[in-house]
Amino acid sequence: MNAPDRDVTRCESTSQAALRLLPAALLAALAGCTDAPRTGRAPADTAFSVGVIDASAAAGGVGAPQASGAVKLKFTGGTPSATTVVARRLASPGAIAVDGDAADWAGIPASVIPLQSPGTRVGLAPEDWYCLYRSRYNLLVDPYTGAPACPTQCDPAAKPADQATASAGCTLPVPAYGQGEGVTWVSQVSVRAAYDDERIYFLLQWADATPDRERRPWSYDPAGAAAWTADRAVEEDRAYLSFDVARSFPVHDTLGCAAACHLNGPVGAPPPGTAPGSLPPAYLAQFTMHTGADSERVDSWTWRAASTDPYGLADDQFWSSQRISGDCDAPATCWTDCLLSPPGPACNGAPGWSWNLASGLPAWLAAGASGDGDPDLSPSYLYLAGQGLPGWDPTFEALAMLSAPTTTPAAAATLPGIVRQAPSAHRDDVRAAGAWKDGAWTVELSRALETRVPDPADSTRTVADPTDAQFPLQ
């Protein structure tokens, strides 16, 4: 405990009866020490994990991120290293603007954190990685064709040795195991952290030759067999942070996010065509981040260059023993996404983005002032609620069905591959902004030190959000 805290503790331990007996001048002095804000207070040291996906390197089959092990997050001093990030207290609240510009981080130390390829991180040999994903993709339905994303499962007696073999005949490439095979993964990320009286901040920077800010965009070719085609190999760059919640999943503080990957397990794939609701729980558990028990939680922040960055947010989620879920007002029952715009329904709402797709063709484009859409003028982002970002052309405030346009698209016209929808309360807790410049991403993330949700036992009160890591000043 530092000196200011000792003084405050002494002041606060003085009984009210004793205070009434003190002279007025001394009472005034003591009132100053009890009422003034504490200085030098900091959150308790903790740990986190960080991950990055370079979508260009992953060639569409993005899979799991390049990830770190557990990284110490120290608020009470220390030396930055490959396994330790030292957070600095800011001189004043708001000293860092979450805008994708690192200029206001001057003087805050950086730690260069090494990242491992997904297959290496979860402990799978390359041939096992490819065999598992090949069988998984055999169960996934390609939304554009309605057919399995891979035509056949992996033959355990002839496991594929590389990504090209594993992806043969698939509409989407199987995720690459790691470095090599023409893939250049992100091998490290620079991380800085800071905090003030209200918020915690992170700065992530990593090398990336190209910014990937689209998800499967449509392009128009009037001479093609199908005039509109979607590039299904185009995906978005992403960054991840994860934190153990209330020391409930301590293995995360040892292994990092790999503690919840659960890919390395002998789970047989169900027959092709098995309905999603009928998939065996053990199989689902193998292919989603989850903890090991109902009492365990991990707080997960995901920044996506196409899906969340246009909103200035990262996706605030949590990992339970069942699956990844979106934060919401009712964490105890929130096992699915809760992302409809306010007032929004309960936890069973639609996700924050949907494929811009209907019967194998794009379904939506921005409507013009007349209500008719012009594909040649369609912006890069579409929003389900008709809400644009500041600076948008006001004629693009609504969506129109693709069948509505009166203008024939020009050659090489494009449409977004996804339609976005603003998240509901609590899933929007993490502010974020990303900027790409000179072959590198700069991504800033920030959240309140403490988050609260309605008390399920008393709607007039709030309690600490049990799906979020909390960083109270000590």
Q: Which of 37-46, 204-213, 448-457 has the lowest mean pLDDT?
A: 37-46
Is the distance from CB of 120 to CB of 258 less than 8 angstroms?
A: no
Of 114-128, 234-248, 270-284, where does mean pLDDT reach its minimum?
270-284
Is 66's pLDDT higher than 50? yes
Q: Which of 68, 44, 468 is nearest to 256 (CA)?
A: 68
CA distance 40 to 266: 50
- What is the mean predicted confidence (pLDDT) over 85-89? 97
CA distances from 278 to 106, 151, 284 (A): 53, 20, 10
The answer on pLDDT for 148 being more than 90 is no
Give the separation between CA 156 and CA 265, rounded to whole angstroms: 14
Supply 126's token pair: 């390359």
The winner for highest mean pLDDT among 6-15, 412-421, 430-439 is 430-439
Interatomic CA distance for residues 195 and 42, integer angstroms? 8
The predicted pLDDT at position 364 comes to: 80
How distant, in Å, are the alpha carbons of 62, 124, 249, 313, 315 from that of 325?
20, 26, 16, 17, 10
| Predicted local confidence at residue 196, as pLDDT | 97
Q: What is the mean pLDDT of residues 71-75?
A: 97
Q: What SS3 string covers the chain?
A: CCHHHHHHHHHHHCCHHHHHHCCHHHHHHHHHHHHCCCCCCCCCCEEEEEEEECHHHHCCCCCCCEECCCEEEECCCCCCECCEEEEEECCCCCCCCCCCCHHHHCCCCCEEEECECHHHHHCCCHHHHHHHHHHHHHHCECCCCCCECCCCCCCCCCCCCCHHHHCCCCCCCCCCCCCECCECCCCEEEEEEEECCCEEEEEEEEECCCCCCCCCCEEECCCCCCCEEECCCCCCCEEEEEEECCCCCCCHHHHHHHHHCCCCCCCCCCCCCCCHHHCCHHHHHHCCCCCCCCCCCEEEEEEECCCCHHHCEEEEEEECCCCEEECCCCHHHCCCCCCCCCCCCCCCCCCCEEECCECCECCEEEECCCCCECHHHCCCCEECCCCCCCCCCHHHCCEEECCCCCCCCCCCCEECCEEECCCCCCCCCEEEEEEEECCEEEEEEEEECCCEEEECCEEEEEEECCCCCCCCCC
Residue 63 has pLDDT above 80, yes or no: no
pLDDT digits (tens, 9 = 90+) for 155-197: 989 999 998 999 999 988 888 887 666 677 899 999 999 999 9
Q: How is the beta sheet containing 353-355 ordered, strand by strand?
A: 353-355, 418-420, 382-383
Confidence at 406, pLDDT banded by 50, 70, 90: low
Could you tell me which of 191, 177, 162 has the C-alpha nearest to residue 121? Answer: 177
pLDDT band at 96 (very low <50, low <70, confident <90, very high): very high
Q: How confident is the model at residue 386 (pLDDT cuts 50, 70, 90)?
A: very low
Q: At what angle do helices 24-35 and 3-13 cross, to 10 degrees?
A: 120
List the single range of 230-234, 246-250, 469-473 with lowest mean pLDDT: 230-234
Q: What is the pLDDT of residue 452?
A: 94
The pLDDT assigned to 123 comes to 79
Q: Which of 213-217, 313-317, 433-437 has the highest mean pLDDT?
A: 433-437
Average pLDDT of the chain, as a whole number: 79
Handedness of CA 95, 253, 237, 209 (dihedral sign): positive
The per-residue pLDDT for range 271-318, each reduced to its tens digit, is 666 765 676 666 666 667 878 888 899 999 999 999 889 889 999 999
Indicate the pLDDT class of residue 74, thresholds 50, 70 and 90: very high
- Residues 412 and 408: their CA atoms lie apart, in Å, by 12
**Residue pointed to by tokens 């991504």:** 443
- Say how far apart CA 439 and CA 165 lie, in whole Å: 31
- Determine the pLDDT at residue 23: 41
Taking the C-alpha atoms of residue 142 and residue 469, their distance in angstroms, rounded to an integer, is: 36
Predicted confidence band of residue 39 (pLDDT cuts 50, 70, 90): low
Higher pLDDT, 366 or 36: 366
User: In whole angstroms, what is the distance from residue 243 CA to residue 50 CA?
Assistant: 9
What is the rounded distance in angstroms from the CA atom of residue 39 to the CA atom of residue 60? 49
Apex CA 302: angle with CA 120 and CA 210, to 5°?
75
pLDDT at 199 over 60: yes
